[in-house]
């Protein structure tokens, strides 16, 4: 990959589960694994968030020991941690012109602020119209719910997608805590929802749209994102 390749990662700014006091945020592996997949491929990666500034991290996604290698690497990476502490705010003036792809990591926080952000929906709709790759993993596809294609239809309608499943949400004990079930909402919008076994790696590429099912799918989603970027560049 060329060093001029730029990828934008957009993260949640939500630190609590709605009216529930339990903390949430981005699931670290869903940030760190794609981040280094992109960096190691020669990409310049920028981090933004809904509100800007420090990004909340779900405390359950960091262990005292035995973290995924990408998490340990990110925690020890001063430049990466600085990006996480000083993320750029997404607003209506944010330009996506220089980026080849936009990637949305998950974490339960995304279920509240990503779908509610008209700025995010507008940014992603513009990115799609400009031929960019859009990618998301786990609960990250919540940020795609209000994105429109060039005809004004829901972007996910008729497209093959993966996301955190209803049965995975049930296993997490959060079906009554989240504001909606992501799999159900995607199906309601006309998406062709596909899945693998609960908590096992599963990612799907449908042209310039890439989605992954759960944290274990972060690596596959990142790989398919780079594949889609290469295909989009070759088609120009």
Active site residues: 138-139, 169
**19 contacts: CB under 8 Å, gap ≥ 6:** none
Closest CA to 141 of 228, 213, 217, 227: 213
- In angstroms, rounded to a whole number, what is the distance separating the alpha carbons of residues 42 and 6? 9
- In angstroms, rounded to a whole number, what is the distance separating the alpha carbons of residues 58 and 213? 18
Beta bridge partners of 185: none
- In angstroms, rounded to a whole number, what is the distance separating the alpha carbons of residues 54 and 159? 34
How long, in residues, is the chain?
236
**Cβ–Cβ < 8 Å for 201, 219:** yes
Helix axes 28-40, 218-235, angle to 10 degrees: 40
């Amino acid at each position: 990959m060329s060093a001029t390749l730029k990828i934008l990662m957009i993260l949640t700014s939500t630190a609590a589960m709605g009216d529930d006091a339990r903390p949430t945020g981005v699931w670290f592996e869903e940030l760190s694994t794609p981040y280094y997949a992109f960096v190691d491929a020669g990409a310049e990666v920028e981090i933004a968030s809904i509100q800007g500034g420090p990004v909340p991290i779900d405390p359950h996604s960091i262990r005292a020991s035995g973290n995924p290698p990408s998490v340990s690497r990110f925690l020890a990476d001063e430049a990466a941690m600085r990006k996480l502490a000083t993320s750029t705010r997404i607003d209506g003036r944010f330009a996506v012109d220089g980026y080849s792809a936009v990637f949305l990591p998950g974490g339960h926080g995304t279920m509240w602020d990503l779908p509610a952000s008209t700025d995010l929906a507008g940014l992603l709709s513009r990115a799609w119209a400009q031929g960019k790759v859009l990618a998301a993993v786990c609960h990250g596809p919540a940020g795609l719910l209000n994105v429109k294609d060039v005809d004004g239809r829901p972007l996910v309608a008729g497209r093959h997608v993966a996301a955190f499943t209803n049965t995975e949400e049930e296993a997490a004990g959060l079906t009554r805590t989240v504001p909606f079930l992501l799999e159900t909402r995607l199906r309601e919008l006309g998406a062709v929802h596909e899945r693998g076994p609960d908590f096992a790696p599963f990612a799907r590429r449908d042209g310039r749209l890439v989605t992954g099912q759960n944290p274990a799918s972060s690596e596959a989603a990142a790989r398919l994102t780079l594949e889609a970027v290469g295909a989009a560049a070759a088609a120009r």
